Amino acid sequence: SKTYTIASIPGDGIGREVIPAGQRVIETVAQKRGFAVKWDTYDWSCERYAQTGRMMPEDGIEQVKGSDAIYLGAVGYPGVPDHVSLWGLLIPLRRELDQYANVRPVRLLKGVQSPLAGRSAEDIDFVVVRENVEGEYSEIGGRIYEGTEREMAMQEAVFTRKGVDRIMEYAFELAKTRKRGHVTSATKSNGIVHTMPFWDERFAAASERHPGIETAQFHIDILTAHFVLHPDWFDVVVGSNLFGDILSDLGPAVAGSIGIAPSANINPEGVYPSMFEPVHGSAPDIAGKGIANPVAAIWTAAMMLEHLGEAEAAADIERAIEHSLASEETRTADLGGRANTEEATNAVVDALSA
Ligand code: NAD
Ligand code: IPM
Ligand code: MN
């Protein structure tokens, strides 16, 4: 039978609680569907940074490059500045493995209550496609004259034609696989931000290449309002690195909780492994208590298996998640339930085994 090699990087905080939960679920579904996983586990984290001065070894990227996929929890912990943990691990992985498409589905699952009145599952079902390697998150800039009156901080936003065109292409191709076939662009092109008229031109060019796909575009400010007031307007939403980041925390809030939101950092050409991580971070405020919602990591595991070609296993997991969310006994507190991480995971595993 088929064996996949998956690099697992639990990272920090609740990453260490939800990644083992996801691994348990994968092991269960693998047995059922007749494939196997070889786990290569890496202790790359803020703790490792405290011991060695590095988040990951110098040849870290080389070490994971040969795996079929990477399964990451989150990095970041009080005591290590976020820019150290992020530039030392998360960002280099995304960039050096050219994972330029960050795919973040938002769905109101059965059993979950939206904070929006009167909304049900058919109203909230969209995907944020976020440009993941350039844009506002550029390496050009920094801080100078720190602590003086002349102190300043600068960062250039970088939008390349190649970079924008390929994320547009990804979004339109994804829309073709969905029922509605609609793409919304997140922009800010009223002439204030210089990069965004360019973004709009490339969006229009992509739209011409894909005449079957309907489109819309909104400035990011009003788009956030529409996410709350009209989530049913959206199918695929394409955004720059920063806009996509913001929308992909807002979306899950509208769909119940950041604790369920999955994410895939895709290298569409398959030259490098893609990386799968929940949208949420290491949540230091609840870390170590065993109460984190494992569903984001488990849904992320389903995306990973789908990417590896195990579509049936992925569908099994999604069904099991919905089953587990149906009862307060097996939902975690962020969803108004009474379960801890282990109980919530057990419910998914049990539903898979049933
Ligand atoms: P966060 O997502 O860690 O937490 C935000 C809030 O949501 C917290 O109140 C937290 O308790 C809650 N929450 C998050 N996930 C949850 C879950 N599974 N179940 C229940 N509640 C959950 O975001 P933050 O507080 O902005 O960041 C904390 C740290 O995580 C920072 O160091 C940040 O840099 C890092 N971070 C890392 C990643 C990553 O590595 N991919 C992503 C986001 C944030
Ligand atoms: C995410 C996170 C990261 C991002 C941070 C931690 C750098 O918020 O994965 O959404 O902005 O990409
Ligand atoms: Mn984010």
| pLDDT tens figures, 246-283 | 999 999 999 999 999 999 999 999 999 999 999 999 99
Query: How would residue 55 be classed by pLDDT, with cut points 50, 70 and 90?
Result: very high
Q: How confident is the model at residue 192 (pLDDT cuts 50, 70, 90)?
A: confident
The minimum-distance atom of ligand 1 relative to the CA of 286 is 11
Nearest Cα residue to 21 out of 264, 346, 350: 346
Please state, rounded to an integer, the average pLDDT across all residues of the chain: 97
Instruction: Specify the domain boundaries for CATH 3.40.718.10 within the chain.
Output: 1-107+258-354, 114-255
> Looking at ligand 2, which residue's alpha carbon is closest to its atom 3?
245
Interval 36-50: pLDDT, tens: 999 999 999 999 999
Share of the chain above pLDDT 90, in %: 97
Domain 114-255 matching CATH 3.50.50.60: the answer reads no
- Strand, coil or helix: what is 97? coil
User: Does the structure show a pLDDT above 90 at 6?
Assistant: yes
Q: Are strands 152-155 and 274-276 parallel, antiparallel or unpaired?
A: unpaired
Answer yes or no: is pLDDT of 190 > 90. Answer: no
Nearest atom within ligand 1 for CA of residue 76? 32
DSSP β-ladder status, 141-144 and 264-266: unpaired
Q: Band of the pLDDT at 198, cuts 50, 70, 90?
A: very high
- Cα dihedral 80/297/322/132 (nearest 10): 90
Task: Tell me, in angstroms, the distance from the centre of ligand 1 to residue 286's CA.
Answer: 9
Which ligand sits nearest to residue 297's alpha carbon?
1
Per-residue pLDDT band at 122 (split at 50, 70, 90):
very high
Its sign, for the CA torsion 307, 120, 73, 8, is negative
Give me the helices (H) in 230-307, please: 241-254, 295-307
Ligand 2 close to Cβ of residue 86 (< 6 A): yes
Q: Hey, whose CA ends up nearest to atom 40 of ligand 1? A: 74
- Under DSSP, the state recorded for 88 is I
Q: Residue 200: which pLDDT band, with cuts at 50, 70 and 90?
A: very high
Q: Is the pLDDT of residue 350 over 90?
A: yes
The domain 1-107+258-354 is placed in CATH, from the list 3.40.718.10, 3.30.420.10, 3.40.50.720, 3.30.300.130, at: 3.40.718.10
Interval between CA 163 and ligand 1 midpoint (Å):
28
345 CA to middle of ligand 1, Å? 19
Q: Which pLDDT value is given to residue 263?
A: 98
Question: What pLDDT, on a 0 to 100 scale, did the predictor assign at position 191?
Answer: 78
Please indicate whether residue 343, judged by its CB atom, sits closer than 6 Å to ligand 2: no
Place of tokens 């990973």: 304
> What residue owns the CA closest to ligand 2's atom 12?
245
Higher pLDDT, 64 or 110: 64
**SS3 call for 24:** helix
**pLDDT band at residue 354 using 50, 70 and 90 as cut-offs:** confident
Burial of 165 (0-12, 13-18, 19+ CB in 10 A): middle
Which pLDDT belongs to residue 333?
97
C-beta of residue 123 within 8 angstroms of C-beta of residue 108: yes
- Give the C-alpha separation, 31 to 67, whole Å: 20
Helix (H, G, I), strand (E, B) or coil at 185: strand
Binding site membership of 280 for ligand 1 (Cβ less than 6 Å): yes
Q: Summarize pLDDT for 273-325 with one digit per residue, the tens.
A: 999 999 999 999 999 999 999 999 999 999 999 999 999 999 999 999 999 99
Q: Is 131 touching ligand 2 by the criterion CB < 6 Å?
A: no
Q: What is the pLDDT of residue 1?
A: 79
How large is the ipTM? Answer: 0.98
Percent of the chain with pLDDT over 70: 100
